[in-house]
Every structure is written in structure tokens, then in C-alpha cells.
Amino acid sequence: MHSSPRTDWEGTYFDGRVAERHPVTVTLTAASLRIEWVDGKTILWSYGEIRQVQGARPGEPARLERGGDEPEVLVVDDPGILQAVREVAPHYRNRFTDASRRRTRTRAVVAGVTAAVVAAGAVYLWIIPLLAARVAARLPVTWEESLGRRVVAEMVDSAAICPHPAVLDRLVARLAATANGRYAFRVTVVGDSIVNAFAAPGGSVVVYRGLLELAETPEELAGVLAHEMQHVVLQHGTRAVLREIPLRLMVAAVTADAGFAGHVAGAAATLGSLRYGRQAEEEADREGMRMLQRARVDPRGMATFFGRLQERVGDVPRVAAYLSTHPRTEARIERLEGLAAAATYAAEPLMGAEAWEEIRAACAASGRPEPRSGL
């Protein structure tokens, strides 16, 4: 024989206006809670107008409210009243959720949010870079050259460009001859004392006067050029831009849609302050060293330049410009020295001392004034 469900409960009532406590007896009916004072006063709370705000955790008193900004409050120390309400008034059971259902729902929400965050992270970290790499590989060279011209236009004051000796073009051509032949590299020298160099998508290589003056040998300059040229060959800049544009425009890039060209104009500016990730820099270092070796250039120049650059931060005016977009760690220098030490071939000279001084003095010989602003 089953016992009848409990219907009476002891509780405390607050009217929401003052803090006075009123001991009450709560009786469950099919449609409402009947709340009775010691003096016999009685009110009815319809289940449809009650909300549960406490009682979901084991042992926690049940707290029910009715009303708006200053609600009436009913507190019953025995949370079993919630289960009793669900049995007496099953149509309103969702208003009186038990602890296990609350926890299950909370876990489901947390799991859903976590899954969404993980999915978004996967898209950002893996899917978008993978898609950008595939799109970049299919882009016509003319698109990358157009992007590169826009990058250079954004970053370089045309009035500061210096004429440079043909021997510098021959140095770039010697390195480029060892690449995949996809790009026609072109060098531009800027008459600015900032220590900087970069290579834009499509093959535009920009070197600043400050870097030419800081480099002590043509092999050091060749090391910088090889590193920057590998960013082009490996399409690091192109991929970086593609990661910033919508999927729809990626598709337009592959299909040669005119809309892509318009968006490239805005995206080009993002490369102005681009800092490649560690993997991209390590790739450019490694492949740059291989480029030097294939061209039979002494690879120690790359290691000595970056090592000395790191040591002289703060001593050379505006030297931090190059380092602001390139890593400067002891581990990197050691890795470069290790790669250089592994070379076993006999290096061939790049140029004579007179030609080297001609390169370093290119902008000085042009008589162009120092630009008003740097990068």
C-alpha cells in the first residue's frame, strides 16, 4: 500500500517590501500553493506565476518568488517541496527543476559552448590557414605581383627611392636563379636610415639605406635578401592576406573574379605591420640558408648579421624596425650558426670591395634628402 504524498510544509514568507519574516504553513493543491499565517490569514500562489530561484543544489533550501522588481519570497528549508510540486502539478514541473536536471542542463550548455569554442579555434588555427595555403598555390603570379605593388606603395614613399648599382640586381638574380622560377624578383632601395628590409608578395624586395650601412659584408646582405625572398617563395605574405579575407573572396581569387582585386587594395595594408609566426620565420631561415648554399654564397653572413643586429639593439639609431617584425632570440641565432656550420662547399665571392662600397653608398650618391617619416 502506497502512502499519500506529503502536502504540508513549514516555511518563511517575505512580502518584498520590508525584511520582516513571517512563519507560514504551505499546502500544495492541484493549482496553487496555499500559504497560511499563524493568525489564519491565507493567500494563494498560482503555480504559473511562481519562479524557483534556489533549491537546485543538494541540501539547498527551496526559494520561490512571485512578482516583479520587489517580489514576494517564500523559503522552505526542505527542498523536497519541489519534487512534491512536480508530482501534484505535473503541468508546471518545468518551473520547479530538480538539481540533477539543472546540473545536466548546465553541463549540456557548457559542453555546447566548449564545442563551439573548440570548433572556432580549429577553423582559425587549421582550416583557414590550410584553405589559404591551397588558394595561394592556385593564384596567378600576376595577382601576387599586383598585391606586392600595393604593399610597396603603402609602405614606401616614392620620393625616397634611390637609384642603385646594377651589381645589386646581379646579387638578387644570383639568389633568384636557385628558386623555383615562379617569381621575377625586383629590388628597391629606400633612402632612409631605418634598419629594415622586406619582400612583398610577387617578388618585390625593398631594402633601406640603414640596413645597407649596418651590413659589413655583401654576404651579410645576401643572407638578409635570401631570408626575405623565401617569404615570397613560400607565400607567407600572400597567405597572411588570404587569412584576413572572407571565404567568398578566396573563391573569387581562384576564379579571377574582379571583386578580389578590389579587396586586395585594403588587405595590402595589413602587411605593413605584419609579424610572421615562428614557423614561417624558421622556414624562411632554413630555406634562405639553402638558397645561399645553392648559390654558393658563404652562409655565415646570415648568422653574423642577425646575431650582431640583436647585440646592437639600442646602440644603432632606428635598428629596432627590422627586429619589430622578425624574431630575435638566442635559439634562433644558434640555429642559424648550426645551419651555416653544416655547409661543406667552397663559397664563391659575391663581389669586390669597390662594388660593395658602391651598393652601400647608393643613396648617399643620389643626393636624395632624408624622408620626414619612417615606417
Look-up of cell digits 566548449: 114
Residue pair 292/302 in contact by the 8 Å Cβ criterion: yes
Average pLDDT over residues 175-186: 91
> E strands of the chain, at which residues?
8-14, 22-28, 32-37, 42-46, 51-54, 62-66, 72-76, 161-162, 186-190, 197-200, 204-208
CA–CA separation, 198 and 236 (whole Å): 12
92-112 pLDDT, tens digit per residue, is 766 776 544 555 455 555 555
Q: What is the percent of the chain where pLDDT is above 90?
A: 32
CA–CA separation, 15 and 70 (whole Å): 8
Look-up of cell digits 542542463: 105
3-state secondary structure of 165: coil
3-state secondary structure of 51: strand
pLDDT at 153: 86
What is the architecture, at CATH level 2, of domain 8-97?
Roll (2.30)
pLDDT band at 171 (very low <50, low <70, confident <90, very high): very high
Amino acid code (one letter) for 47: Y
Burial of residue 190 (CB within 10 Å: 0-12, 13-18, 19+) is buried
- Domain residue extents for the chain: 8-97, 99-138, 140-366
Q: Give the H or E element holding residue 19.
A: none
342-365 pLDDT, tens digit per residue, is 888 888 999 999 999 999 988 875
CA–centroid distance for 186 within its chain? 31
3-state secondary structure of 78: coil
Q: Any idea which of 145-149, 185-189, 306-310, 370-374 has the lowest mean pLDDT?
A: 370-374
CA–CA separation, 44 and 63 (whole Å): 16
The grid coordinates listed for 274 are 605584419
Angle between helices 247-254 and 258-267 (to 10 degrees): 120
CA–CA separation, 79 and 96 (whole Å): 10
Q: Is the pLDDT of residue 125 over 50?
A: no
pLDDT at 105: 54
Q: What is the percent of the chain where pLDDT is above 70?
A: 71
